[in-house]
Amino acid sequence: MTMLQSAGLAGFGLALSACTGLAAAQALPDAVPDLPRAYGYSVGDVVQRRVQLQLPPGWSLDLDALPRSRRPGQAIELRNARLEGDRLLLDYQVFLAPAEVRTLEMPPLLLRFVGAEGAASEIREVRIDAWPLTVAPLVPVNVSPREGLGAMRPDVAAAPIDTKPRLHRLLVLAALLLAVGAALAHLHLGLPWWGRRQRPFSQVWRQLRSWPDLANAERARAAMQLVHAALNRSDGQVLFAGGLTAFVGRHPRFAPLQPALSEFFERSQATFFAVPAVMGAAAAASTDAGTNASPKEGTDASTKEGTKEGTKEGAGATDIGWLKRLCRDCLDAERGAR
């Protein structure tokens, strides 16, 4: 081989070595940040930081070396870090509410790549620089004092609602309820109360209860007539002593009072018919009188005495106290209390 050929082979080898070294240098992993905008943020906003990864064959991102979520209380906190394909996504959230515009800083990021070369491991680290963010307050400290600005304005008043139709409906419903309530009260309270007051012995009792227990013969006869009228109204016909058993059969509620009613008819007979009988007896006695008295005097004395005794007997038979107690018992029976 000539010297010229040897020199050419050497030069080719050197060029091949240079190309191999350059290819080896270009095969290292890298990371290119896709930077977000640096302005226009306020408290609560989420900013996403994206990093495009360039991973040659045999290289991988060390996920254990990724930054963890930062502790609470920081102005800007890392909320999440995840890998999607060949992109690394990091979500930051702003927790600062400044009183004026303030510049915060996304912290620098150090990525670690791992490459395998047989049994040995090769590590490469790539740094992503910090990135500024400007955070503005939600409300400026000093607001223009013009009308409509400045201090917080009161709530807008609610639009008025026309309540007249609803009020009319309520009034109609109230009137209907009142009418129904009045009808029910009349049906369940008024009518029974009125019916009780119109019963025969109820009316008689309202008259007799204020009368004294002892009265003259005229008042006693009037009380007897009231009780007779109540019995007649209760039976719907004129009731005599002989019809008392039939009366109790038609009105069983008066059955416990049958003995007292029988006594009432006896006293009534004595009250209204005892005086003429006594007067007849007095006339017979005057005919059989002795010679010591003149016929006129004997007749006058016997008539006066007989009239006095008959009046006394009639008044005793029609004691108003007993009659009031009988009327009260009949009233209880009439109401169903007995």
Q: What is the pLDDT of residues 260-305, one digit of tens each?
A: 888 888 888 888 876 544 434 443 444 344 334 333 333 343 333 4
- Please tell me the predicted confidence (pLDDT) of residue 18: 47
Count of domains for the chain? 2
The residue with greater pLDDT, 13 or 283, is 13
- 187 domain residue, yes or no: no
> Which of 37, 142, 41, 150 lies closest to 99, judged by CA?
142
The DSSP code for 41 is B
Q: Contacts for 295-298 with beta carbons within 8 Å, 24 or more apart?
A: none
Q: What percentage of the chain exceeds 70 in pLDDT?
A: 69
Residues 214 and 289 in one domain: yes
Tokens, residue 74? 């920081």
Give just the sign of the alpha carbon dihedral 280, 283, 287, 289. Answer: positive
Residues 314 and 206 in one domain: yes
- 245 domain residue, yes or no: yes
- 79 domain residue, yes or no: yes
Q: Which residues contact 48 (CB under 8 A, 6 or more apart)?
A: 36, 89, 90, 91, 92
The residue with greater pLDDT, 220 or 229, is 229
- Please tell me the predicted confidence (pLDDT) of residue 169: 93
Q: How far apart are CA 39 and CA 17, in angstroms?
A: 49
- Identify the domain boundary among 114, 135, 156: 135
Q: How far apart are CA 16 and CA 107, in angstroms?
A: 43
Residues 120 and 228 in one domain: no
Q: How far apart are CA 260 and CA 335, in angstroms?
A: 18
- 311 domain residue, yes or no: yes
SS3 (DSSP) at 122: strand
Cβ atoms of residues 48 and 90 within 8 Å? yes
Confidence of residue 196 (pLDDT cuts 50, 70, 90): low
Q: 74 is in which domain, residue-wise?
A: 28-135
Confidence of residue 178 (pLDDT cuts 50, 70, 90): very high
Question: What's the mean pLDDT when you consider all of the chain?
Answer: 75
- Global pTM? 0.38
